[in-house]
Amino acid sequence: MKKNQLVLVFLLIILSRINLSAQENAGRFSYGLHLGSSFSGFTHHQEVFSQLKSGLAAGLFAELKPVPFLGISVETDYLMEGAFHVSPYLIYPESSIIYSGGLIYKYSSDVTLHNIHIPILVNIRPITGGGVSPTISLGYSFDFFLNANSHDMIMSSGISTIPVTDRSFENVSSSFEKWNMGPVAGVGINFPGSKFNYSFDVRYKVGLLDINNLAGLNSLNGQYDFSVNTLIFFLTISK
């Protein structure tokens, strides 16, 4: 019990110091939220080989500006990623792709990844003075995969090849690693307001880690390792 009380007192002291620091740095500390869209695809670290998957992006951020033209921000975002029209051999073990003596099989997969996206960014504002200004953002992101699912086209072969069903749904979370990371770069335009500031931001995130978790149980032309790259558009509101 005493240990819990000591932890509580310690947290209260830390929170009070953070609040005091924020007051002392009024005008240099900002926070807010953003909402936008994402466009992503699977990549072999050279080029995106799948069709693009559209999704949502939303989150919260806090930024410290030690000098007017430079800020350091940390975000916690929900980010939807994935790929459209990819081979099931990249998503499933081969034994689960073909059914019923080879007559029914998965033909293509539409994969959706639900992530917690945590970028740490350095934001450079070459023009200061309170008016409309551009921003250049450079940083690194850490992504934690919450869930993955796949909508699969099921086909039947015989005299003619026909679809059996439009799209079946399967949870494929076990086919993916839990973490990805990589560099992030972007540009934005800031519009100051009387109560809030607004900005439009465009970022590109490059995945560096292989996100396939099937350990060679699947393959496509000898390739089975891939990551995901994502283009993100944000509307940001900050205080």
Q: CA 85, CA 49: separation in Å to the nearest integer?
A: 10
pLDDT at residue 215, rounded to an integer: 66
Q: What is the CATH number of domain 29-238?
A: 2.40.160.20
pLDDT at residue 148, rounded to an integer: 97
pLDDT at residue 16, rounded to an integer: 52
The owner of tokens 């023009």 is: 127
Residue 108, C-beta contacts closer than 8 angstroms, at least 6 positions apart: 85, 86, 87, 88, 152, 153
pLDDT at residue 25, rounded to an integer: 46
pLDDT at residue 22, rounded to an integer: 44
pLDDT at residue 164, rounded to an integer: 64
User: What does the domain layout of the chain look like in residue ranges?
Assistant: 29-238
pLDDT at residue 89, rounded to an integer: 87
In the chain, what is the straight-line distance between the N-terminal and C-terminal CA atoms, in Å? 39
Q: CA 168, CA 195: separation in Å to the nearest integer?
A: 48
Closest C-alpha among 64, 150, 71 to residue 107: 150
Q: What is the pLDDT along the chain (239 residues), one digit of tens a residue?
A: 454 455 455 544 544 554 444 444 445 889 999 999 999 999 987 789 999 999 999 999 999 999 888 999 999 999 999 999 998 988 888 778 888 777 888 889 999 999 999 999 999 998 877 778 899 999 999 999 999 999 998 888 765 555 666 668 899 999 999 999 999 999 999 998 888 999 999 999 999 999 988 866 665 555 568 999 999 999 999 98
pLDDT at residue 161, rounded to an integer: 58
Question: What is the SS3 string spanning the chain?
Answer: CHHHHHHHHHHHHHHHHHHHHHHHCCCCEEEEEEEEEEEEEEECCCCECCECEEEEEEEEEEEEEEECCEEEEEEEEEEEEEEEEECHHHCCCHHHCEEHHHCEEEEEEEEEEEEEEEEEEEEECCCCCCCCEEEEEEEEEEEEEEEEEEEEEEEECCCCCEEEEEEEEEECHHHECCEEEEEEEEEEEEECCCCCEEEEEEEEECCCCCCECCCCCCCECCECCCEEEEEEEEEEEEC
The owner of tokens 């335009």 is: 189
